[in-house]
Amino acid sequence: MFCDNKFKVEIINGLPADKTITVYRCGPLVDFCRGPHIPNTSFVKAFKCLKASAAYWRGNKDRESLQRVYGISYPDKKRLQVTLCF
């Protein structure tokens, strides 16, 4: 399923043989997940990107540089605003 993604293959190969791997599908996206968290992305009505930064794969400066994004979402703008005010 993930043979075209070397990062996921590396993660899978590092797991014990008896480890269960779960995946989640949202439209065409299939990824590792312990979810589902929401049935689909139409439930996300308010989203805030909190931070974006570069990150080295597995924290190794000699490996690939990737983009890390931190965000938060809520089903409506009011709840998002209340959370951001704290």
> Structural domain of residue 81, as residue ranges?
44-86
For the whole model, what pTM was predicted? 0.70
Domain count, the chain: 2
Please report the pLDDT score of residue 57 as a whole number: 96
Name the percent of the chain lying above pLDDT 70: 97
- Closest by CA to 71, choosing from 55, 47, 54, is 47
Please report the pLDDT score of residue 75 as a whole number: 86
Greatest distance between any 2 Cα atoms in the chain: 46
Taken in order 60, 64, 65, 70, is the CA torsion positive or negative?
negative
Task: Tell me which H or E stretch contains 12.
Answer: helix 6-13
pLDDT tens per residue across span 8-34 = 999 999 999 999 998 888 778 888 887
Q: Which two tokens stand for residue 85?
A: 């005010």
Query: Do 2 and 35 lie in a common domain?
Result: yes
Query: Do 38 and 28 lie in a common domain?
Result: yes
- C-alpha–C-alpha distance, residues 52 and 21, integer Å: 27
